[in-house]
Chain A
Amino acid sequence: MPLFADRHPTAGTLRRLVDEPAGVPDADRAHVAGCAACLDSLAGARADAAVTGAALTPATALPAAPDVDGAWRRLSAAVDAGTRGRAPAPAPARPGRWRAALRSPVVAAVGVVVVLGGAGAAAAADWLQVFRTEEVAAVPVSGTDLVALPDLSAYGELVVVSDPDVREVPDADAAQQATGLDVPQVDTLPAGVTGEPRYTVGGQAVAEFTFSADRAAQAAAAAGATLPPPPPGLDGATFRLQAGPGVAAVWSEARGVPALVVGRATAPTAYASGVPFDTARDYLLSLPGFPADLAAQLQGFSGTGTTLPLPVPAELATTSTADVDGHEATLLASRDGALAGVVWVEDGVVTAVAGSLGEDEVLAVARGLR
């Protein structure tokens, strides 16, 4: 009897024998050497590996040393632009804490939708709380506009009243228990997305923004402008902003790239005191640095302030509307086709589906949610 394993090695072991034989146990190698069937399979594996290797070889030969300096200059410019886009206002009060508190799952989901350019997500986090949401509409803005978006924390005091306590939970049942929301279940996963999602939940985030005419004047002066006179009663007026609870289910095919995110949360709401909310909004929109055309767009959305605007960098993404089970949804897609998302509101609940998918795929997931 030959000294070899008495079972045929797996196809995977035979494949490894093709280009990493040292990683295959001796007994398996001995078996293959004396087994006609395994030698046949090995030849097949070797042939397929060779065909694949040739097929994956780029048509244009890669030079030994690509232009790393040129590529670095290009990246530096992109990083600089992104940094400017994320820091539109000078040293606001506790911006990190403010944003962290607003990182409810839906903000995260919307962040993925708005991806599109890191600055967009940051701007959305500032603004979306300021509207009571019954609809969703995307606002295409240019990169320049994003840089100019005023940060609310430069115009008053931001106090986090309630931290959402964002955390992971083991499964959908636990997520439902934690949030009280119907956790969306995906009927059929798109091709290429597999496995079980991780569930992240967050409670209600509550923050109060108190407008300060003094601080706003300082911010305006820093921008080289004069603050327009605030409407009566706005100085010192407080707005209570609420977001969540919410849940996000995230499928990650491998590290780093979420393949699919499905998020749901109670729609953000804002409560005004002192002055009507619309008055405050219109005034905020008129602040120095806020582009007039963008302000006009926002004001045109709804006289009752019920629209959730998603600022979307116009040069990076396209927006359109679609129907999801009778609800009008906003469909976003990055211009390079790598990412897409869809957001809609139903009975005061925002649902978002996004990922490294095509528009058809996110819509199919959205329409198939149970």
Chain B
Amino acid sequence: MSQGPVAALGTAAARGAARGRPGRGDTERGDTAVAGPRGAVRADLEQVFRTGYPAVVAVAARVLGSRDEAEDVAQEVFLSFARSAVPAAEAPGWLAVAAAHTALNHLRSGRRRAAREEAAADGHRPVPDVADDVLVREERSRVRAALARLPRRQAVALVLRHSGLSYADVAAALDLSPGSVGTTVRRAESALREELTRRAPVR
């Protein structure tokens, strides 16, 4: 399994995720806890961004299979982070989970993917992916569709694990017991393989 830049997210994910629940309680926190003084941007944003951006893109790219889309997702993730009160120490774990969720949301909508594939079919795509071959494209499409059909928790655990987070990190990030991470990931892989086998075209 390729570890990539995401492995660096691990320790912080384990440290921060179980305690921090970003997004929770916007209703009760009031303005100051959500985004500081009105209109202010958190001071640590640039530092967190520069450290975490490659990892966030990598997580999203595993879900979406496309770097361009992954960069769009990373922008959304950091925009949410900029408006949040997530402690900097907990940022890596928060960012990894947010990247997986946001990318899965994109998959679920399917609109961007459909639009991009349509553009590719029309020959208007400015920078064609390496996988120009139709069969490869179909297979990629099947993988994404199968991923979108997985229960959300399984899908996130799967993506985080395959992005290089350790079992302990994934457990902390998703509030799972360490023992159940393997079970969750195994179920997800089994379901994904079945889907891919069942829907594979006859060649």
On chain A, the residues within 8 Å of B20 by CB distance are 255
- Which one of A68, A71, A82 has the highest number of Cβ atoms from chain B below 10 Å of its Cβ? A71
Q: Would B38 and A86 count as touching, CB distance under 8 A? A: yes
- Which one of B21, B31, B45, B84 has the highest number of Cβ atoms from chain A below 10 Å of its Cβ? B31
Q: Would A20 and B186 count as touching, CB distance under 8 A? A: no
Across the interface, name the chain B residue whose C-beta is closest to A17.
B182
Cβ < 8 Å to A, chain B residues 37-73: 38-41, 45-46, 49-50, 53-54, 57-58, 61-67, 70-71
B173 within 8 A of A: yes
User: How many residues from B make CB contacts under 8 Å with A?
Assistant: 97
- Which one of B54, B86, B93 has the highest number of Cβ atoms from chain A below 10 Å of its Cβ? B54
Q: Would A254 and B153 count as touching, CB distance under 8 A? A: yes
Asked whether A105 and B27 contact (CB < 8 A) given A59-B65, A338-B106, the answer is yes
Bound-complex Cα distance A121 to B112 (A)? 25
Q: Would B109 and A358 count as touching, CB distance under 8 A? A: yes
B15 within 8 A of A: no
B184 within 8 A of A: yes
Cβ < 8 Å to A, chain B residues 67-89: 67, 70-71, 74-76, 78-80, 82-84, 86
Bound-complex Cα distance A355 to B26 (A)? 15
A247 CB → nearest B CB, Å: 11
Across the interface, name the chain B residue whose C-beta is closest to A112.
B26
Q: Would A256 and B41 count as touching, CB distance under 8 A? A: no
Q: Would A100 and B31 count as touching, CB distance under 8 A? A: yes
On chain B, the residues within 8 Å of A36 by CB distance are none
Q: Would A103 and B189 count as touching, CB distance under 8 A? A: no
Using an 8 Å CB-CB cutoff, how does the interface string of A83-97 with B read, 1 for contact, 0 for none? 110110000000110
B14 within 8 A of A: no
On chain B, the residues within 8 Å of A75 by CB distance are 49, 75, 78-79, 82
Q: Would B78 and A193 count as touching, CB distance under 8 A? A: no
Q: Would B23 and A62 count as touching, CB distance under 8 A? A: no
B7 within 8 A of A: no
On chain A, the residues within 8 Å of B190 by CB distance are 48
- Contacting residue for A62 out of B49, B57, B97, B166, CB 8 A: B57
Selected A-B contacts with CB under 8 Å, 6 pairs: A60-B67, A62-B57, A71-B49, A72-B49, A74-B75, A256-B94
Q: Would A53 and B101 count as touching, CB distance under 8 A? A: no
Bound-complex Cα distance A12 to B170 (A)? 14
Asked whether A58 and B186 contact (CB < 8 A) given A52-B162, A166-B27, A166-B28, the answer is no
B9 within 8 A of A: no
B121 CB → nearest A CB, Å: 16
B4 CB → nearest A CB, Å: 7
Across the interface, name the chain A residue whose C-beta is closest to B81.
A256
Cβ < 8 Å to B, chain A residues 182-223: 191-194, 198, 200, 202
On chain B, the residues within 8 Å of A86 by CB distance are 38-39
Size range of the chain A interface in the assembly:
35 or more
Cβ < 8 Å to A, chain B residues 182-203: 182-190, 192-193, 196
Cβ < 8 Å to B, chain A residues 217-253: 248, 252-253
Q: Would A338 and B109 count as touching, CB distance under 8 A? A: yes
Q: Would A66 and B53 count as touching, CB distance under 8 A? A: yes
A167 within 8 A of B: yes
B11 CB → nearest A CB, Å: 15
Bound-complex Cα distance A254 to B94 (A)? 10
Q: Would B45 and A20 count as touching, CB distance under 8 A? A: no
On chain B, the residues within 8 Å of A134 by CB distance are none
Ranked 9 nearest A-B pairs via Cβ: A337-B109, A12-B183, A12-B182, A87-B39, A100-B30, A192-B152, A15-B186, A59-B131, A108-B27
- Which one of B53, B110, B186 has the highest number of Cβ atoms from chain A below 10 Å of its Cβ? B186
On chain A, the residues within 8 Å of B184 by CB distance are 12
On chain B, the residues within 8 Å of A59 by CB distance are 65-66, 129-131, 136, 140
A65 within 8 A of B: yes
Bound-complex Cα distance A111 to B31 (A)? 13
Bound-complex Cα distance A20 to B86 (A)? 30
B124 within 8 A of A: no
A166 CB → nearest B CB, Å: 5
Q: Would B108 and A58 count as touching, CB distance under 8 A? A: no
Bound-complex Cα distance A103 to B4 (A)? 42
Q: Would B27 and A248 count as touching, CB distance under 8 A? A: yes
Across the interface, name the chain B residue whose C-beta is closest to A339.
B105
